[in-house]
Structure 1
Amino acid sequence: FSTDPTDVQLELSNRELKDLLARTQFAMAQQDVRYYLNGLLLEIRPGRLRTVATDGHRLAMAELNRELSAKKDTQVILPRKTVIELQRLLDVSDAPVKLSLTSNQIQVDLEDLRLTSKLIEGRFPDYERVIPEDSDKIIKCGRLKVRAALARAAILSNEKFRGVRLTLEADMLRIQTQNPEQEEAEEEVEIEYNGAPLEIGFNVSYLLDALDAIEGEEFIFKLRSPDASGLIHDAAQASGKFVVMPMRL
C-alpha cells in the first residue's frame, strides 16, 4: 500500500458493500475507449455512500444512507476487475469491511484478507445530469410479471440489437419484438397507468438487468417521449435508480 497518508477511511458491513456493487456493476462498460467507464464510481458524502456505473447507453446507481466515518466528499473509480473480485470475496454477513482510500489506491480490509488495488484515473461523467427529472408518464408494474413477459419476448428478439417495442395504453403495457426471420412475439401485461399513449423502443437486456437489480415486488417506470431516457426504480424506495436510453426500432 502506498506511503501516502490515507485520505479517507470508512467502515460498513459485507452485506452493505456487496449489495451496492451488485445493484450497479452490470452497467459497467467493457473495453470502452473512455477508460473511466470501464469501472465503477464510489462516491462518499456525509450521510451517504453511492455506487454508479454507466456504459453510455444505461446507468445504474445505488446508495446507502447512513452516517459513515469518512470526513470529506470523495469520488474514486474502481477498476472492473477489482469490483468483480470484491463481489466474489464479500458475503452477506454483518462482518465489517474497512475501506481506505488515497488519491490513486484503495485498500479493502476484510476479516482475514486485504485487497489492494490501483484506482482508475480520470473524471467520471456528471451522472446526476442524465437521471431524468421531468418524466410525465409514470407506470407502476409488478416486477416479476413484466420481467417474465420481457424474457419471453427476448427469445425472439434480434440477437444483435436486442430491441423490444413497448406500447403504453390505459392500464396496459404491450411488449412486441421481431427478428430478421420475421418471427414475432407479443405480450400484454396489466399495469397501473392513466397517461397518454406512448410507443418506445429499448434494448431488452438492459431492462432485464435493471429489473434483476430491484428486490421489491413492484417497480416504477418513468417515461417522457420516444427519444428520452426511461427511469426505473423500486416502488417502495428509490435508493437504486436505473436509467435506460431508448433505441430506434
Structure 2
Amino acid sequence: MKFSIERADLVKAVAQAGSVVERRHTIPILANVQIEATESGVSFRGTDLDTEVVDRTAAHVERPGATTVSAQMLNEIARKLPDGSLVTLSVDGGSDRLAVQAGRSNFALATLPTEDFPVMANAEYSANFSAPAPVLRRLFDKSKFAISNEETRYYLNGVYLHVAQAEDGQVLRCVATDGHRLARIDAPLPEGAGDMPGIIVPKKTVAELRKLLDDDEAQIAVSVSDTKVRFATPTLTLTSKVIDGTFPDYTRVIPSGNSRKMEVDASDFARAVDRVATVSSEKTRAVKLALELDRVVLSVNAPDAGTAEEELAVAYGDEAMEIGFNAKYLQEIAAQIDRENAVFLFNGSGDAALIREGSDLSAVYVVMPMRV
C-alpha cells in the first residue's frame, strides 16, 4: 500500500474515524484505525464494536492495500506535521510497519493485520430515507440535553427516534427524558420513513452524529433496522447499534390540561434564572417562581450562602401561584428555545409544567417541579 494525501485531509479523516476509538481497551486492535487504499480513494475506519465511523477522502494512490495503525499515534503525528505538507503513507510487502513521510520527517509505526479488524456487518435495513442535515440537527440537538445518564435505566440513555401521529399527520419525532425533564421534537416525515421501526439512538452515537450535520446543504441518508442505524454522506458514514430496550410511553407524562399560561422572553428568563441561582452552592438547588398578574418573581434561598430574588415582566393573567424547579433544568430548556418567547403552561405547584416555543407545537418540553 502506498498513497499521498494532503496533511489537512489526513488530520480530518483520522480525527473523524478515531473519534469512536476507546483509548483503553482490552482488545489491542480496537485502539487502531483501519486504512484502506483503493483506486477511488482512501477510507479510514474506526470502531468500538458498538459504533463505527468510516471517513472517505481523496488521495493519490500508487499501490492499493490496507493496514491498521494506532489512531492516537497517527492523529498526533498528522497534527504536528507542517501546514500544507503532502504526507505519504506506505507499507512495503511483508513489513509490519507503516511508513509516514512528510518533507524531512519520517516515522515507522507498528501495525496489526487488517483481517483482524472488526467490521460492523451490514444489516438488512427495513427503512431507508434521506433528510436535510438542518432537520436532523434540530431533532437531535433540541432533545439530547434530556438524555439520562442513569445506567440502571439504560433504555433512557439515548434519543428515541420514531414515527408518531401528530395533529396534522405523521411526523418524524425525537424524544429524550431522564424522568425529571422531557423533550419531544417533531419534523416533517421524510419520504420512505413511514415503515421505520422506533429505535433508541445511544448518547455516544448522538454526539458523533453531530459531525455529519454541520453542513446546511448536506442530505443525510438514513437507514434503520431493529438493531442498527446508519447515517451517511458521500464522504462519511456512521453506523451504530441501537439500545436494546423499550422506550417508555412518554405520552403519559406530557400534561394536556395545564391551563395557567405564562409567556416570557426566553433569553431574559434564562439570564434571570442564571443570576438567582448564583447564590446556590449546587446547580440542582430549586428556584422558586411566584406568579402574579403580569409578573413573576424568581427566588433562591440557600441557607449556607444567602438569598437572591429577581422580578420579570411576563404575560400572565391567571390566579397567583408558586412553583419550584431545578435551576439547571430551566436553563437547559430555555437554551433550546429559538423563538423570542417561551410559553409555560402550569396546572398546580405539584404538577409538571409544559413549555413551548411561542405558538410552535413541534417542540414541547416537560419539567417536573421541586418542593420549595
Q: Which residue of 2 aligns with 1:191?
A: 314
SS in 2 for 1:239: strand
Q: Which residue of 2 aligns with 1:204?
A: 327
CA contact (8 A) 2:197 2:226 kept: no
CA contact (8 A) 1:167 1:173 kept: yes
The residue type equivalent to 2:179 in the other structure is: G
Q: Which residue of 2 aligns with 1:65?
A: 188
Question: Is the aligned partner of 1:214 residue 2:214?
Answer: no
Q: Which residue of 2 aligns with 1:42?
A: 161
Deviations 1:45-76 (A, max 9, x none): 47411111001100011110244322325210
Output aligned runs, 1:15-26, within 5 Å.
15-26=134-145
Structure 1 residues 92 and 137, CA gap change in structure 2 (3 angstroms): farther
CA RMSD of aligned residues (A): 1.5
Question: Is the aligned partner of 1:239 residue 2:362?
Answer: yes
Residue number among 256, 260, 279 corresponding to 1:133 in the alignment: 256
d(CA) in 2 for partners of 1:157 and 1:138? Answer: 28
d(CA) in 2 for partners of 1:114 and 1:160? Answer: 38
SS in 1 for 2:318: coil
Structure 1 residues 92 and 134, CA gap change in structure 2 (3 angstroms): farther
Output aligned runs, 1:75-90, within 5 Å.
75-90=198-213
Q: Which runs of 5+ in 2 are unaligned?
A: 1-119
Give the TM-score taking structure 1 as reference length: 0.95
The residue type equivalent to 2:243 in the other structure is: I
Structure 1 residues 215 and 167, CA gap change in structure 2 (3 angstroms): same
**What is the CA-CA distance between 1:3 and the residue it aligns to?**
4.6
d(CA) in 2 for partners of 1:236 and 1:175? Answer: 24
SS in 1 for 2:323: strand
Percentage of matched positions with identical amino acids: 35
**What is the CA-CA distance between 1:92 and the residue it aligns to?**
4.3
Higher relative contact order (CA 8 A, sep 6+): 1
Question: Is the aligned partner of 1:28 residue 2:151?
Answer: no
Q: Which runs of 5+ in 1 are unaligned?
A: none
d(CA) in 1 for partners of 2:212 and 2:285? Answer: 32
**What is the CA-CA distance between 1:227 and the residue it aligns to?**
0.7
CA contact (8 A) 1:50 1:64 kept: yes
Greater displacement, 43-52 / 16-25: 43-52
Aligned residue-pair number: 249
SS in 2 for 1:74: coil
Structure 1 residues 67 and 105, CA gap change in structure 2 (3 angstroms): closer
Residue number among 171, 176, 181 corresponding to 2:294 in the alignment: 171
CA contact (8 A) 1:139 1:220 kept: yes
SS in 1 for 2:240: strand
The residue type equivalent to 1:167 in the other structure is: A
Q: Which residue of 2 aligns with 1:8?
A: 127
**What is the CA-CA distance between 1:146 and the residue it aligns to?**
1.1
CA contact (8 A) 2:279 2:302 kept: yes
SS in 2 for 1:149: helix
Residue number among 346, 352, 359 corresponding to 1:223 in the alignment: 346
Deviations 1:168-202 (A, max 9, x none): 00001010002232411100001011101110110
CA contact (8 A) 1:170 1:193 kept: yes
**What is the CA-CA distance between 1:11 and the residue it aligns to?**
0.8
Give the TM-score taking structure 2 as reference length: 0.64
Question: Is the aligned partner of 1:147 residue 2:270?
Answer: yes
Q: Which residue of 2 aligns with 1:110?
A: 233
d(CA) in 2 for partners of 1:148 and 1:12? Answer: 34
d(CA) in 1 for partners of 2:286 and 2:210? Answer: 30
Question: Is the aligned partner of 1:100 residue 2:100?
Answer: no
